[in-house]
Amino acid sequence: MLKFVFMLIFMLPISFLKSNYWTVQNLLFFFTFLFMINFSSLNYFNYISYYFGLDMISFGLILLSFWICGLMLMASEKVYLYNNYKNLFIFMILFLLMMLVLTFSSMSVFMFYLFFEASLIPTLFLILGWGYQPERLQAGVYLLFYTLLASLPLLIGIFYILEINNTLSFNLLLNYVFMDLNLLYLSLIFAFLVKMPMFLVHLWLPKAHVEAPVSGSMILAGILLKLGGYGLLRMFSLLQMSGVKYNYWWISISLVGGVLISLICLRQTDLKALIAYSSVAHMGIVLSGLLTLTYWGLTGSYALMIAHGLCSSGLFCLANISYERMGSRSLLINKGLLNFMPTLSLWWFLLCSGNMAAPPSLNLLGEISLLNSIVGWSWITMIMLTFLSFFSAAYSLYLFAYSQHGKIYSGVHFFSVGSVREFSLLMLHWLPLNLLILKSSFCMLWI
């Protein structure tokens, strides 16, 4: 595992050489394929060094991190063209990638916590340094305080585990189950609920998304929301008994919240805000499935996390492409885009249909298994799940129909085609999303 970490460490100095923007991006894709080829097993830890190792959950999420970071550089061409501190920008992305790889491959709970928190710093710099509006300061403060405030109890909980067990290794804690320690249960999972984010503690996410540059939005939607899910998957091996007892609280909040957020999506006029809120709705269903602690729920939440990372990131790229052409993200100005950029409408259609879990996308596989697990857990949830599925399709259609159809905004007097870079960027989001369903054993058979 250490070889991949060293690979990233030695890439950091490259970010300060001149005219190396595309070199770094090509290297990231090269590393993605190296990483893919290197991995051999499914359901147990391998590549074990003293503190780091990989299993299937880590593998999928690290692979997604490499992929999305390569695409982030591809999407942020404006930083390169206007020479907007591009070397620092590359450094931030590589540093963030390194923190994410270390987070997902940590085998000690404390190391996991350390890198989990460290990934916040480069994200904050991306939002504060390359964001668009002055409100980015407020968004940065929201992001920082929500995440840090919830993480302090987690740190105390980790030290408590160390006190009782004398170890913090995930492997050695695997067979240990804490009984009836309600405060420990709350402190260990609350940080991850905020990171997911669960409804009621989700306010930092739309703010951060709307103010972040396209690269910030991609990494937030693609990877940073998955840190919460990954943390829960790891922690619930310790908290099964408390989980069985109390999880219904979070499941109820997530399902009701998912429906309310879907309704909020239907009245958004900002493209980015709509996609950001749809992330909260999707994470609501992921969280509910994960907390049922059933086989279907755990595997389905993992599948949907991977799928959502690709799909949501692609939608943010589309919103950014429209923003670069129109100078605005408002749906009132971005309408009738079918006349303005006909070549891009196909991508809007494909990614919006992915967002509503249409076949053959990986979202479908994830949602079917999550519905299976949640309804199996309690049939009453059917009511909320029906609304959630319906409104999820409704806001995806609203996003597509409102932006592509209708009368074109009269301030736009020209016709535009996309560049090869933009089309390959969208293709690289959409292709893995739909090809992964052919190899669904990776997502569904790792327990």
**H helices within 292-336, ranges in order?**
295-326
pLDDT of residue 41: 65
Question: Could you identify the residue written with the tokens 């501190």?
Answer: 85
Cα torsion 15, 66, 135, 270 to 10°: value is 130
pLDDT of residue 355: 94
Global pTM value? 0.95
pLDDT of residue 390: 96
For the stretch 119-156, what's the b/e string if a residue is b when 16 or more beta carbons lie within 10 angstroms of its beta carbon?
Answer: bbebbbbbbbbbbeeeebeebbebbbebbeebbebbee
For each of the chain's 447 residues, which pLDDT tens digit applies?
788 899 999 999 988 888 888 999 999 999 999 998 887 666 677 888 888 988 889 999 999 999 999 999 999 988 888 888 999 999 999 999 999 999 999 999 999 999 999 999 999 999 999 998 888 999 999 999 999 999 999 999 999 999 998 999 988 888 788 887 889 999 999 999 999 999 999 999 999 999 999 999 999 999 999 999 999 999 998 888 889 999 999 999 999 999 999 999 999 999 999 999 999 999 999 999 999 999 999 999 999 999 999 999 999 999 999 998 888 899 998 888 888 888 899 999 999 999 999 988 999 999 999 999 999 999 999 999 999 999 999 999 999 999 999 888 887 777 778 889 999 999 999 999 999 999 888 888 887
Other C-beta atoms within 10 Å of 219: how many? 29
For the stretch 258-285, what's the b/e string if a residue is b when 16 or more beta carbons lie within 10 angstroms of its beta carbon?
Answer: bbbbbebbeebebbbbbbbbbbbbbbbb
- What is the C-alpha separation between 101 and 397, in angstroms, rounded? 35
For the stretch 391-440, pLDDT in tens is 999 999 999 999 999 888 887 777 778 889 999 999 999 999 999 999 88
DSSP structure class, residue 445: S
For the stretch 62-96, pLDDT in tens is 999 999 999 999 999 888 888 889 999 999 999 99
- What is the C-alpha separation between 216 and 131, in angstroms, rounded? 8
Q: What 3-state DSSP class applies to 376? A: helix
Alpha carbon separation from 150 to 146, 169, 198, 379, 434 (Å, rounded)? 6, 22, 12, 32, 35
Residue 153: cis peptide before it, omega within 30 degrees of 0: no
Q: What residues have CB less than 8 Å from 329, skipping those under 6 apart? A: 270, 271, 272, 319, 322, 323
Other C-beta atoms within 10 Å of 442: how many? 16
Q: What does the angle CA 57 – CA 254 – CA 243 come to, to the nearest 5 degrees?
A: 60
**H helices within 131-239, ranges in order?**
136-165, 170-173, 182-195, 204-211, 214-219, 225-235
